[in-house]
């Protein structure tokens, strides 16, 4: 953590991790690494491919270069697909400090082919957002509803009144579980027959039960 540029005037010499910035926070917000960026979709983005740029490392959350934002019409939608299963615990969403900042988001889980037609259904959870240009406000999710998320849809249902919405960073906090492959063999039939011996009793199915 480089401490330059923080004009917070914390007393130095306390020997603690910066009070407002524990190092673990960057690790907690590492779920972006588990997003299959090739499968991120953003409806209404003004430039193709910009949607995936908002999922980035914690230490880049306040970068404001032109390629790090997604702009959309006033109601935009992002879908992200995880490479395993995620227990989602919190979300941070950060934009410009003006009326283009998202004002409300609605979260849906595990609706792979979601479109705007689906946004009429009840979301798993919705949040009214405050303007958060420095990405410090976390909105905690109801963990029981987000315990096994493979696909997350983030519907930015309104902003603070601008024609376009601008998002710089979306941070996701939670726990990741590898996807388990379900190819489990239940039975192996082994033909234990002596070719010279044609008696059927010798062909015994060896059934291996998996407990």
Name the least confident of 8-12, 76-80, 147-151. 8-12
Beta carbons of 129 and 101 less than 8 angstroms apart: yes
> Residue 41: exposed, middle, or buried by beta-carbon count in 10 A (0-12, 13-18, 19+)?
middle
Rounded Cα gap, residues 4 and 181, in angstroms: 46
Q: Which candidate, 149, 39, 142, places its Cα nearest to that of 85?
A: 149
- Other beta carbons within 10 Å of 79: 21
Give the domains, in start order, of the chain with CATH numbers: 24-177 (2.60.120.470)
The reported pLDDT for the residue numbered 86 is 95
pLDDT band with cut points at 50, 70 and 90 for residue 63: confident
**Token digits of residue 72:** 């959309």
pLDDT band with cut points at 50, 70 and 90 for residue 190: low
User: Which tens digit of pLDDT belongs to each residue from 136-175?
Assistant: 999 999 999 999 999 999 999 999 999 889 999 999 999 9
pLDDT band with cut points at 50, 70 and 90 for residue 208: low
| 140 vs 23 pLDDT, higher one | 140
pLDDT band with cut points at 50, 70 and 90 for residue 92: very high
Q: Mean pLDDT, to the nearest integer, of 26-42?
A: 89
Rounded Cα gap, residues 69 and 139, in angstroms: 20
The reported pLDDT for the residue numbered 194 is 56
User: Which tens digit of pLDDT belongs to each residue from 99-125?
Assistant: 999 999 999 999 988 888 888 899 999
33, pLDDT greater than 90: yes
Q: Mean pLDDT, to the nearest integer, of 184-191?
A: 55
The reported pLDDT for the residue numbered 76 is 80
Rounded Cα gap, residues 190 and 115, in angstroms: 50
The reported pLDDT for the residue numbered 120 is 85
Q: Mean pLDDT, to the nearest integer, of 167-186?
A: 79
Where do the H-state alpha helices sit in 21-133? 24-28
Rounded Cα gap, residues 82 and 30, in angstroms: 12
The reported pLDDT for the residue numbered 181 is 61
178, pLDDT greater than 70: yes
The reported pLDDT for the residue numbered 9 is 44
Rounded Cα gap, residues 59 and 1, in angstroms: 8
Question: What is the rounded average pLDDT for all residues in the chain?
Answer: 80
The reported pLDDT for the residue numbered 116 is 81
Q: Which candidate, 21, 42, 41, 31, places its Cα nearest to that of 149?
A: 31
């Amino acid at each position: 953590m480089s401490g330059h540029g923080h004009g917070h005037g914390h007393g130095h010499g306390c020997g603690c991790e910066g009070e407002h910035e524990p190092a673990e926070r960057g690790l907690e917000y590492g779920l972006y690494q588990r997003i299959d960026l090739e499968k991120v979709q953003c409806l209404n983005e003004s430039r193709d491919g910009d949607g995936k740029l908002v999922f980035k490392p914690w230490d880049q959350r306040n970068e404001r270069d032109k390629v790090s934002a997604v702009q959309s019409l006033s109601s935009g939608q992002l879908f992200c697909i995880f490479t395993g299963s995620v227990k989602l615990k919190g979300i941070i969403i950060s934009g410009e400090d003006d009326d283009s900042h998202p004002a409300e988001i609605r979260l849906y889980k595990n609706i792979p082919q979601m479109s705007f037609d689906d946004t009429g259904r009840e979301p798993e959870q919705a949040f009214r957002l405050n303007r958060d240009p420095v990405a410090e406000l976390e909105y905690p999710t109801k963990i029981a509803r987000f315990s096994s998320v493979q696909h997350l849809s983030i519907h930015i249902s309104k902003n603070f009144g601008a024609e376009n919405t601008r998002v710089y960073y979306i941070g996701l906090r939670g726990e990741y579980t590898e996807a388990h492959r379900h190819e489990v063999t239940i039975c192996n039939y082994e033909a234990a027959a002596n070719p010279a011996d044609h008696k059927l009793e010798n062909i015994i199915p060896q059934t291996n039960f998996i407990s």
